[in-house]
Structures are given as C-alpha cells and as structure tokens.
Amino acid sequence: MKCDVLTLFPEVLEAYLNESILKRACEKDLLETRLYNIRDFATGPHRTVDDSPYGGGAGMVFKPEPLFSALDFLRDDGEPRKVILLSPQGRPFNQATAEDYSRETRRFVFICGRYEGVDERVMTLVDEEVSIGDYVITGGELAALVIIDAVTRLVPGALGDEKSAEEDSFSRGLLDYPHYTRPREFRGMKVPEVLFSGNHRQIYLWRRREALRKTVEMRPDLIEKFDLSDTDKKLLKEIEEEKV
C-alpha cells in the first residue's frame, strides 16, 4: 500500500505509523506513507488555510488554494493516484471497502478534512469521499489511520500469519469468536473444556456457534446480510433453543 496524507498535524499520524504492525510493514516495503503539512502549500505571511463561509454560518471552511497546490505538487511525478477526502458525508468505510482498497494499484492520497468542511471546488479533485462512521470527529487524521491500518492488515506479509487477517472480525461477515489463553482458570473463570479436546471439528463448531451468538446479540443486522450455510442454520437454531 502506498499513500500520501495531506494533514495539518502530521505528527499525529507519525506516532501511530511508527509502531507495531504498520512500522513492520514499512520496514518490509509493504507500506509506504508520505505525510505532507497542508500549511506548507498555503500562501501569505500566516500560511492561512481556512476562512469564513460565504453566506454566513458557524465555523470556518478549508480554503481551496492550499489543497489544489498540494495535489498539483503530488501529481507532478506522474504516478496514478486515488484521491480520498475523509469526511462524515462520505460513503461508509467497512471491511469490504478495505478489501477493495487492498487490491488498488494506484497510490492513495488521503485529505484530512478539518473545520466545517472544505470548499466545494476541492471536490473536483476527489475520486471518493469516505466516512468511518456516523459521527463527527475533530479531523480526518484518525480516519486516515483507521483506513491505512485496516488495508495494511490485508496486504500479504504484513501480519506474518495470513490466517490472522482471514479470521478477523468482519472478514467472513461475522463478529469474532471468544479467545482464551493461559492461565486455564482465573478468578474462578475457566476456559471452555472443548478448547482442550484436541477435536478440531468440535473446536470449529464451538467457535462458529459463539461467533454466530455474538453477532446475533451485538450486530443482528450482519446476520440478515450473511449467507448462512446449513451448519450455520443448525447452530443458530441451537442458540435460539438455549434461550427457551
């Protein structure tokens, strides 16, 4: 994954990008990130990047000039790019989107929005507007990190164990099953005996049942969209019968 991030606070992203899986992905050349301060592309003695909205109203609006100049600078090398504006008005980002992005051959450009929004003329430069949820946060920096993290996990070699990404929540349409490790008993709470059975089929069925149970309880909307197998339907029936 290759990406450029346009932001007013590059240091916010640097801290996260230099840790854990993303750091290792960079070291393996599986992830390449370049951070650009939008203020560097602003003009005037104060490098102003925002202004009050025409027509009145609360807040400030991102000026078009710095963003146009930044995109002109990035595109000067001729490398194909997919420009994404991070905004609460955008299409919802989910696991399916992450999988699509993991197959993208173009270099990403993430524009981290701020203030009340960006000048509408900036939209002529944008390929896609993306939101990470139906809520408002201070800026697009956190959203950029969410997307970069989610997509990088899907890049072969980034996690070391490819099954880790395959078994993540949402990768197969369901929430994840419960996980346990040592000690076998902690403060009176015991690890389910089936996990010590050595019976891979029974362990699979237990994990599948618990994943279905958690999804039904916490995200029933996912079940409605999920293509249930005959085994899934049988396990769901067992879960319903347990409630009686």
Q: What is the pLDDT of residues 13-58, one digit of tens each?
A: 999 999 999 999 999 999 999 999 999 999 999 999 999 999 999 9
Name the architecture of domain 2-161: 3-Layer(aba) Sandwich (3.40)
Name the architecture of domain 185-243: Orthogonal Bundle (1.10)
Q: Which of 116, 112, 192 is nearest to 147 (CA)?
A: 112
Asked if 70 contacts 107 with a C-beta cutoff of 8 angstroms, the reply is no
Of the candidates 39, 53, 65, 88, the residue annotated as catalytic is 88
Of the candidates 116, 119, 149, 167, the residue annotated as catalytic is 116
pLDDT for the residue 93 = 98
Concerning whether 168 is annotated as a catalytic residue, the answer is yes
Asked if 141 contacts 9 with a C-beta cutoff of 8 angstroms, the reply is yes
Of the candidates 168, 172, 219, 232, the residue annotated as catalytic is 168
| Residue 222 in tokens | 């996912």
Side chain identity at residue 203, one-letter code? I
Alpha helix segments (H runs only) across 130-219:
141-152, 162-166, 200-218
Q: What is the pLDDT of residues 142-188, one digit of tens each?
A: 999 999 999 999 999 999 766 666 655 565 789 999 999 999 999 99
In which band, very low, low, confident or very high, does the pLDDT at 230 lie, cut at 50, 70 and 90?
very high
Q: What is the pLDDT of residues 66-114, one digit of tens each?
A: 999 999 999 999 999 999 999 999 999 999 999 999 999 999 999 999 8
Residues whose CB falls within 8 Å of the CB of residue 118, separated by 6 or more in sequence, listed in order = 61, 62, 64, 67, 85, 87, 111
Of the candidates 153, 207, 209, 213, the residue annotated as catalytic is 153
Phi, psi of 110 (to 5 degrees): -105, 120
Task: Give domain limits for the chain.
Answer: 2-161, 185-243
Q: Mean pLDDT score of the chain, rounded to an integer? A: 94
Phi, psi of 128 (to 5 degrees): -155, 140
SS (H, E, C) 10-76: HHHHHHHHCCHHHHHHHHCCCCEEEEEEHHHHCCCCCCCCEECCCCCCCCCEECHHHHHHHHHHHHC
Concerning whether 176 is annotated as a catalytic residue, the answer is no
pTM of this prediction exceeds 0.85: yes
Concerning whether 11 is annotated as a catalytic residue, the answer is no
pLDDT at 139 over 80: yes
| Average pLDDT estimate for 209-225 | 94
